[in-house]
Every structure is written in C-alpha cells, then in structure tokens.
Amino acid sequence: MKLFGNKKEEKKSCCCAACTPEIMKQAEQQKQEEGIKVLGSGCAKCVALEKAVVKAIEELELNYKVEHISDFAEIASYGVMSTPALVINGKVVSYGKVLSIEEAKQILKDIKLYESIT
C-alpha cells in the first residue's frame, strides 16, 4: 500500500484561477497607460470614489475621463491590496478609502502641477 504517491502539483494563482501569465502580462501593459483609474470590484465604496473623482474633475473644469477597473488581475498588477484605489498615470495615489471631493481635487491639483494627465 502506497501512502504517499506522486501527486500532481497544481499551480494556482494567488488571486484567481483565471490569472495566467498572459493575462498578467496584459495587465502590466495596461498599467503603463496614462489616465485616471478607479480600482475596485464595483462595491458601494468603489462607486462612491468614482463619483467623487468625477465631481472633482467637473469642479476643476478639467476634461478627463475616469476608467473603472474591476479586473482582479489588473488590480493585482498595481500591488493594491485594499480597494477602492485611485491611480493617476500608472501611479497609485490613494487606496483603501473613499476620498471626499475636496481630497480628490487636491490630489488632482498636486499631480497637475508636475505631470500632464491625459
């Protein structure tokens, strides 16, 4: 009787079964794209952050679009462990909390001083 057989080792992803090397590579490429992104599953907090950022953009009279990313592979590529998160030009500028409109405006003003947001 063989107690310890040769068991096939299954490779599983850290975040989901659908994370393949190709998907992670694609997520890394998308991370390099410029723009404003809200990372999150689509929960109430993620939606609230997106609304606050959109309102801040409107109040600052800027012409930027906000992209909502809910793909876990892409979220993982940013190294974000707590959502919602705000990403501007590939850099995580806030995570784990819902920003107020004023906080979002301040972040946008600070970033705009040093970089152009497209």
| Active site amino acids | 43, 46
In angstroms, the CA 17 to CA 99 distance is: 31
Q: 71 near 80, Cβ under 8 Å?
A: no
In angstroms, the CA 38 to CA 105 distance is: 15
